Structure 1
Amino acid sequence: MKKVLFLHSSNDGQTIKIFKHIEKQLGSEYQCKVIDLHQSPNIDFSLYDRILIGAAVRYGHLNKKLYQFIGQNRKQLDESKVGFFCVNLTARKEGKNTPETSAYMKKFLLKSPWVPKLQAVFAGALRYPRYNLLDRTMIKLIMKLTGGETDTSKEVEYTNWEKVSEFSVEFKQF
Protein backbone atom coordinates (compact mmCIF):
# COMPACT_ATOMS: atom_id res chain seq x y z
CA MET A 1 0.00 0.00 0.00
CA LYS A 2 1.31 3.44 -0.98
CA LYS A 3 1.33 6.17 1.64
CA VAL A 4 0.21 9.69 0.79
CA LEU A 5 0.41 12.78 2.94
CA PHE A 6 -2.09 15.59 2.41
CA LEU A 7 -1.04 18.89 3.98
CA HIS A 8 -3.62 21.63 4.06
CA SER A 9 -3.69 25.35 4.63
CA SER A 10 -7.44 25.77 4.71
CA ASN A 11 -9.88 28.48 5.76
CA ASP A 12 -13.39 27.10 5.49
CA GLY A 13 -12.91 23.44 4.64
CA GLN A 14 -13.17 23.34 0.84
CA THR A 15 -9.49 22.40 0.56
CA ILE A 16 -10.11 19.43 2.87
CA LYS A 17 -13.19 18.48 0.83
CA ILE A 18 -11.00 18.48 -2.30
CA PHE A 19 -8.50 16.22 -0.51
CA LYS A 20 -11.30 13.78 0.37
CA HIS A 21 -12.32 13.67 -3.29
CA ILE A 22 -8.72 13.02 -4.36
CA GLU A 23 -8.39 10.28 -1.73
CA LYS A 24 -11.52 8.59 -3.09
CA GLN A 25 -10.15 8.84 -6.64
CA LEU A 26 -6.80 7.34 -5.63
CA GLY A 27 -8.50 4.17 -4.45
CA SER A 28 -7.83 1.55 -1.81
CA GLU A 29 -4.19 0.98 -2.77
CA TYR A 30 -3.37 4.36 -1.23
CA GLN A 31 -3.37 5.15 2.48
CA CYS A 32 -3.86 8.89 2.96
CA LYS A 33 -3.16 11.01 6.01
CA VAL A 34 -4.37 14.63 6.34
CA ILE A 35 -2.42 17.14 8.43
CA ASP A 36 -3.02 20.85 9.04
CA LEU A 37 0.27 22.54 8.17
CA HIS A 38 -0.76 25.55 10.30
CA GLN A 39 0.10 23.38 13.29
CA SER A 40 3.80 23.54 12.22
CA PRO A 41 4.19 19.78 12.12
CA ASN A 42 7.56 18.07 12.04
CA ILE A 43 7.21 15.58 9.23
CA ASP A 44 9.52 12.93 7.93
CA PHE A 45 8.70 13.11 4.22
CA SER A 46 10.55 9.84 3.59
CA LEU A 47 7.65 7.96 5.19
CA TYR A 48 5.42 8.87 2.25
CA ASP A 49 5.42 7.88 -1.41
CA ARG A 50 3.74 11.13 -2.41
CA ILE A 51 2.80 14.39 -0.75
CA LEU A 52 0.19 16.89 -1.78
CA ILE A 53 -0.13 20.39 -0.37
CA GLY A 54 -3.42 22.23 -0.78
CA ALA A 55 -3.74 25.90 0.15
CA ALA A 56 -6.68 28.28 0.11
CA VAL A 57 -6.57 31.98 -0.68
CA ARG A 58 -8.26 34.44 1.68
CA TYR A 59 -8.43 38.15 0.85
CA GLY A 60 -5.97 37.71 -1.99
CA HIS A 61 -3.28 35.88 -0.02
CA LEU A 62 -2.15 32.42 0.92
CA ASN A 63 -1.54 31.98 4.64
CA LYS A 64 1.92 33.06 5.82
CA LYS A 65 2.25 29.74 7.67
CA LEU A 66 2.36 28.02 4.27
CA TYR A 67 5.47 29.99 3.37
CA GLN A 68 7.00 29.32 6.80
CA PHE A 69 6.37 25.59 6.33
CA ILE A 70 7.99 25.68 2.90
CA GLY A 71 11.01 27.54 4.27
CA GLN A 72 11.44 25.03 7.07
CA ASN A 73 11.02 22.00 4.81
CA ARG A 74 12.51 23.16 1.50
CA LYS A 75 15.13 20.40 1.28
CA GLN A 76 12.58 17.64 1.86
CA LEU A 77 10.14 19.25 -0.58
CA ASP A 78 12.81 19.32 -3.30
CA GLU A 79 13.77 15.69 -2.67
CA SER A 80 10.23 14.24 -2.56
CA LYS A 81 7.32 13.73 -4.92
CA VAL A 82 5.27 16.74 -3.87
CA GLY A 83 2.39 18.36 -5.68
CA PHE A 84 0.61 21.61 -4.85
CA PHE A 85 -2.82 23.05 -5.52
CA CYS A 86 -4.29 26.44 -4.81
CA VAL A 87 -7.99 26.99 -4.02
CA ASN A 88 -9.59 30.36 -4.71
CA LEU A 89 -12.86 31.90 -5.85
CA THR A 90 -11.29 33.66 -8.84
CA ALA A 91 -10.69 30.23 -10.38
CA ARG A 92 -14.45 30.00 -10.94
CA LYS A 93 -13.78 32.00 -14.10
CA GLU A 94 -12.45 30.44 -17.27
CA GLY A 95 -8.99 31.77 -18.03
CA LYS A 96 -8.11 32.17 -14.35
CA ASN A 97 -8.24 28.51 -13.36
CA THR A 98 -4.90 27.03 -14.41
CA PRO A 99 -1.42 27.33 -12.89
CA GLU A 100 -0.37 29.38 -15.93
CA THR A 101 -3.29 31.82 -15.72
CA SER A 102 -3.97 32.08 -11.98
CA ALA A 103 -2.72 35.31 -10.44
CA TYR A 104 -2.51 33.52 -7.09
CA MET A 105 -0.36 30.68 -8.41
CA LYS A 106 1.93 33.17 -10.15
CA LYS A 107 2.20 35.14 -6.90
CA PHE A 108 2.92 31.95 -4.96
CA LEU A 109 5.68 30.93 -7.36
CA LEU A 110 7.29 34.37 -7.10
CA LYS A 111 7.14 34.40 -3.31
CA SER A 112 8.01 30.76 -2.62
CA PRO A 113 11.59 29.43 -2.69
CA TRP A 114 10.10 26.07 -3.73
CA VAL A 115 8.61 25.24 -7.14
CA PRO A 116 6.16 22.31 -7.03
CA LYS A 117 6.70 19.63 -9.67
CA LEU A 118 2.93 19.14 -10.06
CA GLN A 119 0.54 22.09 -9.83
CA ALA A 120 -3.19 22.76 -10.05
CA VAL A 121 -5.70 25.50 -9.36
CA PHE A 122 -9.26 24.80 -8.23
CA ALA A 123 -12.23 27.04 -7.62
CA GLY A 124 -13.40 27.06 -4.04
CA ALA A 125 -16.78 27.53 -2.41
CA LEU A 126 -18.69 30.54 -1.22
CA ARG A 127 -20.25 29.88 2.18
CA TYR A 128 -21.88 33.17 3.22
CA PRO A 129 -24.08 31.78 6.05
CA ARG A 130 -21.01 30.25 7.73
CA TYR A 131 -18.91 33.43 7.69
CA ASN A 132 -18.74 35.89 10.54
CA LEU A 133 -20.08 39.39 9.84
CA LEU A 134 -16.72 40.86 8.82
CA ASP A 135 -15.87 38.02 6.43
CA ARG A 136 -19.39 38.00 4.97
CA THR A 137 -19.23 41.75 4.32
CA MET A 138 -15.71 41.72 2.86
CA ILE A 139 -16.29 38.68 0.67
CA LYS A 140 -19.59 40.13 -0.58
CA LEU A 141 -17.74 43.31 -1.58
CA ILE A 142 -15.06 41.32 -3.38
CA MET A 143 -17.69 39.24 -5.16
CA LYS A 144 -19.56 42.39 -6.20
CA LEU A 145 -16.37 43.84 -7.67
CA THR A 146 -15.62 40.60 -9.54
CA GLY A 147 -19.15 39.87 -10.77
CA GLY A 148 -19.85 37.04 -8.38
CA GLU A 149 -22.71 35.95 -6.13
CA THR A 150 -23.70 38.57 -3.55
CA ASP A 151 -26.77 36.97 -1.96
CA THR A 152 -25.50 36.33 1.57
CA SER A 153 -28.13 33.67 2.22
CA LYS A 154 -26.53 31.36 -0.35
CA GLU A 155 -23.78 28.80 -0.40
CA VAL A 156 -22.26 28.18 -3.81
CA GLU A 157 -19.71 25.49 -4.59
CA TYR A 158 -17.64 26.44 -7.62
CA THR A 159 -15.22 23.50 -7.47
CA ASN A 160 -15.05 21.60 -10.76
CA TRP A 161 -14.97 18.03 -9.48
CA GLU A 162 -14.14 16.61 -12.92
CA LYS A 163 -11.02 18.76 -12.97
CA VAL A 164 -10.12 17.52 -9.47
CA SER A 165 -10.58 13.92 -10.67
CA GLU A 166 -8.29 14.56 -13.65
CA PHE A 167 -5.67 16.01 -11.31
CA SER A 168 -6.03 12.91 -9.10
CA VAL A 169 -4.99 10.76 -12.07
CA GLU A 170 -1.97 13.02 -12.68
CA PHE A 171 -1.03 12.83 -8.99
CA LYS A 172 -1.33 9.03 -9.04
CA GLN A 173 1.00 8.79 -12.06
CA PHE A 174 3.39 11.45 -10.70
Structure 2
Amino acid sequence: MSRIAMLFASREGQTRKIIEKIQPLLTKAGHQVDLIQIKPEPREINLKQYDAFFLGCSIRYGKHHRWFCDFVEANADILNKRLCFFFSVNMTARKPNRCEPYMNPYLVKYLENSCLTPDKVAVFGGALKYSQYNFLETQLIRMIMKLNKGPTSTESDIEFTDWVKVINFAEDFKLALGKVEPETEVA
Protein backbone atom coordinates (compact mmCIF):
# COMPACT_ATOMS: atom_id res chain seq x y z
CA MET A 1 0.00 0.00 0.00
CA SER A 2 0.98 3.64 -0.28
CA ARG A 3 2.55 6.05 2.17
CA ILE A 4 0.60 9.31 2.11
CA ALA A 5 1.37 12.77 3.47
CA MET A 6 -1.73 14.78 4.31
CA LEU A 7 -0.38 18.33 4.42
CA PHE A 8 -2.66 21.11 5.61
CA ALA A 9 -2.97 24.62 7.00
CA SER A 10 -5.90 25.52 9.21
CA ARG A 11 -6.65 28.55 11.32
CA GLU A 12 -9.87 27.80 13.23
CA GLY A 13 -9.72 24.06 12.61
CA GLN A 14 -12.19 23.34 9.77
CA THR A 15 -9.49 22.22 7.35
CA ARG A 16 -8.05 20.00 10.08
CA LYS A 17 -11.54 18.59 10.70
CA ILE A 18 -11.84 17.73 7.00
CA ILE A 19 -8.39 16.08 6.93
CA GLU A 20 -9.22 14.10 10.07
CA LYS A 21 -12.48 12.91 8.48
CA ILE A 22 -10.57 11.60 5.45
CA GLN A 23 -7.60 10.00 7.20
CA PRO A 24 -9.47 6.95 8.60
CA LEU A 25 -10.85 6.12 5.14
CA LEU A 26 -7.30 5.85 3.86
CA THR A 27 -5.85 3.96 6.83
CA LYS A 28 -8.74 1.45 6.73
CA ALA A 29 -7.77 0.80 3.12
CA GLY A 30 -4.30 -0.17 4.35
CA HIS A 31 -2.39 3.01 3.55
CA GLN A 32 0.10 4.59 5.92
CA VAL A 33 -0.99 8.19 6.49
CA ASP A 34 0.93 11.02 8.14
CA LEU A 35 -0.99 14.18 9.06
CA ILE A 36 1.33 17.17 8.85
CA GLN A 37 0.17 20.66 9.70
CA ILE A 38 2.09 23.33 7.84
CA LYS A 39 2.70 26.19 10.25
CA PRO A 40 4.38 29.60 9.94
CA GLU A 41 7.57 28.26 11.53
CA PRO A 42 9.65 26.52 8.85
CA ARG A 43 10.02 22.77 9.33
CA GLU A 44 11.99 20.17 7.42
CA ILE A 45 9.76 17.48 5.97
CA ASN A 46 11.23 14.68 3.87
CA LEU A 47 8.62 14.48 1.12
CA LYS A 48 10.62 11.91 -0.87
CA GLN A 49 9.45 9.17 1.48
CA TYR A 50 5.82 9.54 0.32
CA ASP A 51 4.03 7.96 -2.62
CA ALA A 52 1.17 10.46 -2.69
CA PHE A 53 0.05 13.80 -1.26
CA PHE A 54 -3.29 15.10 -0.06
CA LEU A 55 -3.19 18.85 0.52
CA GLY A 56 -5.71 21.18 2.13
CA CYS A 57 -5.64 24.86 2.95
CA SER A 58 -8.18 27.36 4.17
CA ILE A 59 -8.71 30.91 3.00
CA ARG A 60 -8.75 33.94 5.25
CA TYR A 61 -9.63 37.36 3.91
CA GLY A 62 -9.35 36.16 0.33
CA LYS A 63 -5.98 34.39 0.51
CA HIS A 64 -4.60 30.96 1.27
CA HIS A 65 -2.16 30.90 4.18
CA ARG A 66 1.15 32.42 3.04
CA TRP A 67 3.27 29.82 4.87
CA PHE A 68 1.35 27.00 3.17
CA CYS A 69 1.78 28.62 -0.25
CA ASP A 70 5.50 29.13 0.41
CA PHE A 71 5.86 25.48 1.43
CA VAL A 72 4.03 24.27 -1.69
CA GLU A 73 6.11 26.47 -4.00
CA ALA A 74 9.35 25.31 -2.39
CA ASN A 75 8.32 21.66 -2.82
CA ALA A 76 6.32 21.81 -6.07
CA ASP A 77 8.79 19.59 -7.94
CA ILE A 78 8.21 16.58 -5.69
CA LEU A 79 4.49 17.31 -5.17
CA ASN A 80 3.94 17.39 -8.94
CA LYS A 81 5.82 14.12 -9.54
CA ARG A 82 3.50 12.05 -7.35
CA LEU A 83 -0.24 11.67 -7.04
CA CYS A 84 -1.43 14.93 -5.51
CA PHE A 85 -4.95 16.08 -4.61
CA PHE A 86 -5.59 19.59 -3.30
CA PHE A 87 -8.61 21.17 -1.66
CA SER A 88 -9.39 24.71 -0.61
CA VAL A 89 -11.75 25.66 2.22
CA ASN A 90 -13.54 28.98 2.02
CA MET A 91 -16.81 30.68 2.82
CA THR A 92 -17.50 31.53 -0.82
CA ALA A 93 -17.87 27.80 -1.49
CA ARG A 94 -21.09 27.82 0.56
CA LYS A 95 -22.79 29.34 -2.49
CA PRO A 96 -24.14 27.03 -5.23
CA ASN A 97 -22.39 29.00 -7.98
CA ARG A 98 -19.02 28.94 -6.18
CA CYS A 99 -18.83 25.39 -4.78
CA GLU A 100 -17.23 23.83 -7.85
CA PRO A 101 -13.44 24.09 -8.18
CA TYR A 102 -13.23 26.07 -11.40
CA MET A 103 -16.11 28.36 -10.37
CA ASN A 104 -14.44 29.33 -7.11
CA PRO A 105 -12.42 32.53 -7.63
CA TYR A 106 -10.00 31.87 -4.75
CA LEU A 107 -9.08 28.40 -5.94
CA VAL A 108 -8.82 29.51 -9.57
CA LYS A 109 -6.52 32.40 -8.64
CA TYR A 110 -4.35 30.13 -6.50
CA LEU A 111 -3.94 27.54 -9.25
CA GLU A 112 -3.14 30.22 -11.84
CA ASN A 113 -0.37 31.66 -9.66
CA SER A 114 1.07 28.45 -8.25
CA CYS A 115 3.62 25.98 -9.55
CA LEU A 116 1.45 23.21 -8.12
CA THR A 117 -0.33 21.06 -10.72
CA PRO A 118 -2.51 18.73 -8.65
CA ASP A 119 -4.16 15.70 -10.22
CA LYS A 120 -7.52 16.74 -8.81
CA VAL A 121 -8.86 19.71 -6.86
CA ALA A 122 -11.92 20.43 -4.76
CA VAL A 123 -13.37 23.31 -2.83
CA PHE A 124 -15.40 22.97 0.36
CA GLY A 125 -17.43 25.44 2.34
CA GLY A 126 -15.82 26.38 5.61
CA ALA A 127 -17.27 27.33 8.95
CA LEU A 128 -18.08 30.56 10.69
CA LYS A 129 -16.57 30.11 14.12
CA TYR A 130 -17.62 33.29 15.82
CA SER A 131 -16.83 31.70 19.18
CA GLN A 132 -13.13 31.74 18.22
CA TYR A 133 -12.89 35.26 16.78
CA ASN A 134 -11.86 38.33 18.71
CA PHE A 135 -14.08 41.41 18.65
CA LEU A 136 -12.42 43.01 15.62
CA GLU A 137 -12.44 39.78 13.59
CA THR A 138 -16.10 39.22 14.48
CA GLN A 139 -17.09 42.65 13.24
CA LEU A 140 -15.04 42.34 10.06
CA ILE A 141 -16.39 38.89 9.23
CA ARG A 142 -19.97 40.01 9.99
CA MET A 143 -19.48 42.91 7.58
CA ILE A 144 -18.15 40.58 4.88
CA MET A 145 -21.07 38.21 5.46
CA LYS A 146 -23.57 41.06 5.25
CA LEU A 147 -22.07 42.26 1.94
CA ASN A 148 -22.26 38.70 0.60
CA LYS A 149 -25.76 37.97 1.91
CA GLY A 150 -24.44 35.47 4.44
CA PRO A 151 -25.40 34.84 8.06
CA THR A 152 -24.45 37.61 10.48
CA SER A 153 -25.75 36.28 13.79
CA THR A 154 -22.89 35.62 16.20
CA GLU A 155 -24.98 33.51 18.59
CA SER A 156 -23.62 30.21 17.29
CA ASP A 157 -20.99 28.81 14.97
CA ILE A 158 -22.17 27.68 11.53
CA GLU A 159 -20.64 24.91 9.43
CA PHE A 160 -21.03 24.96 5.63
CA THR A 161 -18.90 21.92 4.76
CA ASP A 162 -20.63 19.42 2.48
CA TRP A 163 -19.45 16.17 4.07
CA VAL A 164 -20.78 13.99 1.25
CA LYS A 165 -18.63 15.97 -1.17
CA VAL A 166 -15.62 15.55 1.17
CA ILE A 167 -16.10 11.77 1.30
CA ASN A 168 -16.50 11.56 -2.48
CA PHE A 169 -13.24 13.48 -2.95
CA ALA A 170 -11.52 11.09 -0.54
CA GLU A 171 -12.95 8.10 -2.41
CA ASP A 172 -11.59 9.51 -5.69
CA PHE A 173 -8.17 9.78 -4.05
CA LYS A 174 -8.40 6.23 -2.74
CA LEU A 175 -9.32 5.01 -6.23
CA ALA A 176 -6.40 6.93 -7.77
CA LEU A 177 -4.06 5.39 -5.18
CA GLY A 178 -4.92 1.98 -6.59
CA LYS A 179 -3.21 3.04 -9.80
CA VAL A 180 -0.04 4.31 -8.08
CA GLU A 181 3.06 2.18 -7.99
CA PRO A 182 5.02 2.93 -4.80
CA GLU A 183 8.29 4.57 -5.82
CA THR A 184 9.43 6.19 -2.62
CA GLU A 185 13.02 7.06 -2.10
CA VAL A 186 14.52 6.50 1.31
CA ALA A 187 16.47 9.49 2.45
Query: Which TM class, normalised by the smaller chain length?
Result: over 0.9
- Counterparts of 1:126 and 1:72, CA distance in 2: 31
C-alpha distance in 1 between matches for 2:124 and 2:52: 20
Mapping 1:125-140, distance limit 5 Å: 125-140=127-142
Distance 2:82 2:76 in 1: 10
SS in structure 2 at match of 1:95:
helix
Equivalent residue for 2:165?
A: 163
Question: 1:28-39, aligned counterparts within 5 Å?
Answer: 28=28, 29-38=30-39, 39=41
Structure 2 unaligned segments of length 5 or more: list them: 177-187
Aligned match of 2:90? 88
Unaligned runs of 5+ in 1: none
For 1:36, the aligned partner's letter is Q
Detail structure 1 runs of 4+ shifted over 6 Å in the superposition: none
2:72 to 70, 74, 78: 70
Distance 1:170 1:46 in 2: 23
For residue 128 of structure 1, report the CA deviation from its aligned partner.
0.6
Counterpart amino acid of residue 8 in structure 1:
F
Contact persistence 1:86–1:105 (CA under 8 A): yes
Which one of 96, 117, 120 corresponds to residue 118 of structure 1?
A: 120
Aligned length: 174
Indicate the percent of aligned positions where both proteins have the same amino acid: 36
Q: Distance in 2 between matches of 1:130 and 1:139?
A: 12
1:100 counterpart SS class = helix
Alpha-carbon displacement from aligned partner over 1:23-81 (angstroms, at most 9, x marks no partner): 12324212321112224332222322221110000011111112211221121112111
CA distance in 1, matches of 2:93, 2:68: 20
Name which one, 1 or 2, has greater alpha-carbon Rg.
Answer: 2
Q: TM-score, normalised by structure 2?
A: 0.88
Residue 98 of structure 1 is matched in structure 2 by 100
SS of residue matched to 1:56: strand
Q: Distance in 2 between matches of 1:31 and 1:114?
A: 23
Corresponding residue of 2:180:
none
**1:81-132 CA distances to partner (integer Å, 9 max, x unpaired)?**
1111000011011120111100011110122122211111000111111111
Name the TM-score, length of structure 1 as normaliser. Answer: 0.94
- Confirm or deny: 8 A CA contact 1:46 1:80 kept in the other structure: no
For residue 183 of structure 2, what is the aligned residue in structure 1? none
CA distance in 2, matches of 1:99, 1:169: 17
Give the conservation status (yes or no) of the 8 Å contact 2:26–2:33. Answer: no
C-alpha separation in 1, matches of 2:47 and 2:18 = 21
State the superposition RMSD in angstroms: 1.3
Cα distance between partner residues in 2 of 1:36 and 1:27: 18
